């Protein structure tokens, strides 16, 4: 009788796992179809895809304008490409888009920075001549005490004061990092499963190796004293329909961690982890991250200098984000 019960239990468990596998495959196929149908890379020419390409392109120049080790002549090809993208957008979709207008302002700021640079900016100058009323975008230059002056203000003021900082002037004490992570654990999670884990790195050799794979820290990464690799434990996921939960809950934790770092006066820069699977597997091995943990985000940290620049990076208007669904509509 005991053998029969164990056998029945084992069969039921096998059938349940088989059902979960089918469910997960169906869910991921649904994601793949929607991604292939609607992702901007596959829908060139739409206003949304064109706008997002411009935002990414202007942000490259914004970062260059605010780098701690900036050199003149940087990003010439990127500036020309951005000018072409803006011109194409206006021709295809018209003028008046706030993000596109900011891109033109970034181009003017870039050109003004170079002043009488000896090499010509023929195409960029022609673009700016066609946009004579566009002012240069202002990338804020701030003092440390001013930047962190609103950490005890109302939450709207505090949230508005937080920006990515790419200027680092010294190491962050480990107890400060521990305090930031402790604060970040107040982030909500699905059914209180608390997916998030943090792997902290303060070894320069490991930092440089990781950044060589991440490929987004040129010009400032070498100054970061602490790297926080935020992961989410997918063993917390209970069924296939929760396939996104690791990243959703990990992302909530990352935002809480950013607020905590800002509150504690720690400069930080959020870095994506959109890398080749080979690099992802390599990072798990090198950093000793369990295979069951998905890398969600990487944060470069350091203590801020007395003065530094931050990128303006204007936010979308609420009208572009919020949609009310009227009852009965």
**Residue found by looking up tokens 């604060």 in the block:** 183
**In the structure, what pLDDT confidence band is assigned to residue 300 with cuts at 50, 70 and 90?**
very high
**Residue found by looking up tokens 């069924």 in the block:** 239
Q: Is 91 in the same domain as 132?
A: yes
How high is the pLDDT of residue 40?
85
Q: Is 230 in the same domain as 258?
A: yes
DSSP secondary structure string, 269-300? EEE-----HHHHHHHHHHHT--TTEEEEEEEE
**Residue found by looking up tokens 């400032």 in the block:** 220
Is residue 303 domain-resident?
A: yes
Query: For residue 162, which of 56, 302, 267 has the smallest C-alpha distance?
Result: 267
How high is the pLDDT of residue 12?
85
End residue of a domain, out of 87, 109, 139: 139
Is residue 182 domain-resident?
A: yes
Q: Is 227 in the same domain as 134?
A: no
pLDDT digits (tens, 9 = 90+) for 75-99: 999 999 999 999 999 999 999 999 9
Q: Is 18 in the same domain as 116?
A: no
Is residue 76 domain-resident?
A: yes
Is residue 128 domain-resident?
A: yes
**In the structure, what pLDDT confidence band is assigned to residue 328 with cuts at 50, 70 and 90?**
low
End residue of a domain, out of 139, 166, 201: 139
pLDDT digits (tens, 9 = 90+) for 137-159: 999 999 999 999 999 999 999 99
Q: In whole angstroms, what is the distance from residue 293 CA to residue 271 CA?
A: 18
Report the chain's mean pLDDT, rounded to a whole number.
93
**Residue found by looking up tokens 């470069």 in the block:** 300
Q: In whole angstroms, what is the distance from residue 70 CA to residue 64 CA?
A: 7
Q: In whole angstroms, what is the distance from residue 284 CA to residue 75 CA?
A: 33
**Residue found by looking up tokens 């091995």 in the block:** 285
Q: Is 13 in the same domain as 161?
A: no
pLDDT at 71 over 90: no
Q: Is 120 in the same domain as 182?
A: no
> Within 10 Å of residue 247's Cβ, how many Cβ atoms?
16
Is residue 325 domain-resident?
A: no
Is residue 190 domain-resident?
A: yes
> Within 10 Å of residue 322's Cβ, how many Cβ atoms?
7
CATH number for the domain that contains residue 193:
3.40.109.10
Tokens of 27: 């869910």
Q: Is 126 in the same domain as 184?
A: no
Percentage above 70 pLDDT, the chain: 99
Is residue 222 domain-resident?
A: yes
Q: Is 50 in the same domain as 19?
A: no
Q: How many domains does the chain have?
A: 3
- Mean pLDDT on 256-281: 97
Check: CB of residue 145 under 8 Å from CB of residue 307. no
DSSP E strand boundaries for the chain: 141-143, 196-201, 226-233, 267-271, 293-302, 307-309
DSSP letter assigned to residue 8:
H
Q: Is 84 in the same domain as 182?
A: no
Q: Is 112 in the same domain as 146?
A: no
User: Residue 208 — left, alpha, or beta (φ > 0 → left; ψ -120 to 50 → alpha)?
Assistant: alpha
Give the burial class of 219: count Cβ atoms within 10 A of its Cβ; 0-12 exposed, 13-18 middle, 19 or more buried: middle
Structural domain containing residue 108: 42-139
Mapping DSSP to helix (H, G, I), strand (E, B) and coil, where does residue 226 land? strand
End residue of a domain, out of 89, 105, 139: 139
**In the structure, what pLDDT confidence band is assigned to residue 304 with cuts at 50, 70 and 90?**
very high
Is residue 319 domain-resident?
A: no
Q: In whole angstroms, what is the distance from residue 191 CA to residue 245 CA?
A: 11
How high is the pLDDT of residue 8?
67
Q: In whole angstroms, what is the distance from residue 41 CA to residue 53 CA?
A: 9
Q: Is 118 in the same domain as 208?
A: no
Tokens of 260: 């905590």
- Mean pLDDT on 29-41: 91
**In the structure, what pLDDT confidence band is assigned to residue 200 with cuts at 50, 70 and 90?**
very high
pLDDT at 265 over 80: yes
Q: Is 186 in the same domain as 281?
A: yes
Entry field: residues in the chain: 329
Strands of the sheet with 267-271, listed across from one edge: 196-201, 226-233, 293-302, 267-271
How high is the pLDDT of residue 143?
97
């Amino acid at each position: 009788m005991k053998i029969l019960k164990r056998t029945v239990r084992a069969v039921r468990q096998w059938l349940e796992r088989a059902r979960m596998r089918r469910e997960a495959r169906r869910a991921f196929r649904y994601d793949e179809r929607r991604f292939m149908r609607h992702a901007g890379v596959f829908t060139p020419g739409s206003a949304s895809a064109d706008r997002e390409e411009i935002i990414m392109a202007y942000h490259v120049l914004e970062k260059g304008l605010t780098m701690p080790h900036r050199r003149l002549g940087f990003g010439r090809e990127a500036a020309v490409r951005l000018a072409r993208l803006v011109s194409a957008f206006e021709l295809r979709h018209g003028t008046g888009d706030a993000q596109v207008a900011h891109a033109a302002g970034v181009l003017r700021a870039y050109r003004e920075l170079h002043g009488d640079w000896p090499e010509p900016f023929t195409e960029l100058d022609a673009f700016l001549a066609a946009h004579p009323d566009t002012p240069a975008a202002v990338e804020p230059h701030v003092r440390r005490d001013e930047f962190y002056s609103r950490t005890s203000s109302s939450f709207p003021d505090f949230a508005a004061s937080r920006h990515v900082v790419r200027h680092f002037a010294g190491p962050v004490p480990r107890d400060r990092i521990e305090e930031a992570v402790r604060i970040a654990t107040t982030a909500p999670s699905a059914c209180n499963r608390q997916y998030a884990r943090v792997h902290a790195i303060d070894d320069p050799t490991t930092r440089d190796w990781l950044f060589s794979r991440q490929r987004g820290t040129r010009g400032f990464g070498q100054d970061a004293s602490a790297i926080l690799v935020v992961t989410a434990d997918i063993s917390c996921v209970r069924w296939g329909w929760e396939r996104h939960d690791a990243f959703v809950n990990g992302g909530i934790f990352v935002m809480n961690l950013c607020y905590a770092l800002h509150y504690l006066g720690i400069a930080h820069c959020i870095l994506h982890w959109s890398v080749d699977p080979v690099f992802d597997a390599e990072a798990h091995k090198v950093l000793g991250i369990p295979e069951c943990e998905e890398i969600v985000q990487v944060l470069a940290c350091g203590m801020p200098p007395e003065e530094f620049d931050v990128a303006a990076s204007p936010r979308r208007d609420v009208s572009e984000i919020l949609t009310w669904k009227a009852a009965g509509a």
